[in-house]
Amino acid sequence: MPLLVTDHSWTQTESMVFISVPLKGATKVDIVSSDEYLKVHFPPFLLEVFPSELVDDVQSSAKIGNGVAVISLSKRTNKLWEHLSITTYDKETKTEIRERALSKMQEKLAAEAKNKAEKKHNEKKYALKTMMNMENEERERIQKMKDDERNRTTAELEAWQLKERKKAEEEARLKFQTNQPKAVKQKYKRSVSETDKRKKQVIIPAPRVPGNIEVSFTPRVFPTALRESRVEEEEEWLKKQAEARRIVNADIEELNDLSEEERNPDWLKEKGNKCFAAGNYLSALNAYNLAIRINRKIPALFSNRAACHLKLRNFHKAIEDSSQALELLTPAVPANAAARARAHVRRGSAFCQLQLYTEGLQEYQTALKIDPNNEALQADTQKIREIIQGSAE
């Protein structure tokens, strides 16, 4: 059972309520709030407040610093309260209020994740569109250079042909004006006739002046066109997994004393799995600890270590490791569905062991959404519901 916080204090104005909660050295604080419910959880301590009046959750805020959490609640109606929290609710009503608050929190987080994904997708679309525009502009520039070069060459050829034609005509005119004998004039006529024949022949242009044309190509940002790639969530997951396999934290002095295989987090994971299967949970925990020190980007290491903590009854640490595994198991794709379901079940089991059955039920329901056909998971979820209903009665 969590320890209830009793040394909190509160003040108010006509429009605001300020609640000060000493954190007792805790570094991780979970705050859930809605219009009718507030929970501040820093294991093993818990503060629950059911406000006397409805508050505006959108305008409310929380700040953590100097070992104190200060929650500012915005009142919907401007008046002074006689009491901070209403304690007359029965257990069933409180359970309903908690579930509504947790549901709103999950919907809010899901909406934020969806907005973030849409924003990232729009940014990729904009980048692709910009790249395509740049490529089109570059193609148009190169085509313009080709057209200009072709036009210049054609103009040079026509100018050369015109120059040769004028030269031939000038030679004929000069010969005609000279006073030459008849035989010479006849020879001149034959010369003019031959000139006309040459005009009718195809004139071969002079060789062009050699030179070099420099062509620069637009650098590619994407290895393939985005429209030809796979689903972007799958790509992001695969990219994270590839990066996780490459990352090794080299600042561990003990690495110098380890063998080559003992520096491999995958080998350590398999060793931990074998020890866990044999019931040697401490050895499995040590293997997972060293693997995590070498590489903190592999979600299976945290999830498996959470299973060890459950066996060793270190429930708070099991919750922390399950949460860390779920953070690494993003984005949610079919490839990591089974791993996400296991992490939710392990976190839910730790909550239930701490008698936080409502939180545990939420975790099992989330796992059941991922794997709805799992009969064992359905049975465990029903058992937790029965426990909650029995405690409410």
- Kindly report, residue by residue over 200-245, the tens digit of the pLDDT: 555 666 676 677 777 776 554 434 444 444 467 777 777 777 776 6
Q: Summarize the confidence of residues 91-120 as an average pLDDT.
A: 82
Stretch 125-142: mean pLDDT = 88
Q: Which of 41, 56, 88 is the last residue of a domain?
A: 88
Domain-located, residue 78 = yes
- Contact present, 348 and 363 (Cβ < 8 Å): yes
Which domain does 57 fall in, by range?
A: 3-88
278: pLDDT strictly greater than 90: yes
Radius of gyration of the chain (CA): 41
In a domain, 298, yes or no: yes
Identity of residue 335: A
CB 40 within 8 A of CB 86: no
Classify residue 135: in a domain, yes or no: no
CATH number, residue 11: 2.60.40.790
Q: What percent of the chain has pLDDT over 70?
A: 82
pLDDT band for position 391 (cuts 50, 70, 90): low
Q: Kindly report whether the peptide bond that precedes residue 223 is cis, defined as omega within 30 degrees of 0.
A: no
The reply to whether 283 falls in a domain is: yes
Sheet of strand 16-22: strand arrangement? 9-12, 16-22, 68-75, 55-65
Total structural domains within the chain: 2
Mean confidence (pLDDT) of the chain: 81
247 in a structural domain: yes
Q: Kindly report, residue by residue over 171-211, the tens digit of the pLDDT.
A: 877 776 665 555 545 555 566 566 666 655 556 666 766 77
pTM: 0.42
- pLDDT value for 314: 93
Q: State the pLDDT confidence band at 309, using cuts at 50, 70 and 90.
A: very high
CB atoms within 10 A of CB 37: 24
Cα end-to-end distance, the chain, whole Å: 18
More confident residue, 306 or 247: 306
CA distance 69 to 22: 6
Determine, yes or no, domain membership for 310. yes
Task: For residue 217, tell me if it sits in a domain.
Answer: no
Q: What is the pLDDT of residue 257?
A: 65
Q: How confident is the model at residue 346 (pLDDT cuts 50, 70, 90)?
A: very high
Domain boundary among 50, 66, 88: 88
* pLDDT computed for residue 182 by the predictor: 55
* Secondary structure (3-state) at 43: coil
At 58, the pLDDT band (50, 70, 90 cuts) reads: confident
Asked whether residue 267 is assigned to any structural domain, the reply reads yes
Section 276-281 average pLDDT: 94
Residue 378 banded pLDDT, cuts 50, 70, 90:
very high
Q: Give me the DSSP letters along 7-64.
A: --EEEE-SSEEEEEEE-TT-S--EEEE-SS-EEEEETTEEEEE-BSS-EEEEEEEEEE
Please state which of the ranges 63-72, 228-237, 275-284 shows the lowest mean pLDDT: 228-237
* Average pLDDT, integer, range 83-87: 79
CATH number at residue 358: 1.25.40.10
Q: Give me the pLDDT at residue 221, please.
A: 40
Of the residues 61, 88, 115, the one at which a domain ends = 88
- Alpha carbon 38 to its chain centroid, in Å, reads 31
The β-bridge relationship of strands 9-12 and 3-4 is: unpaired
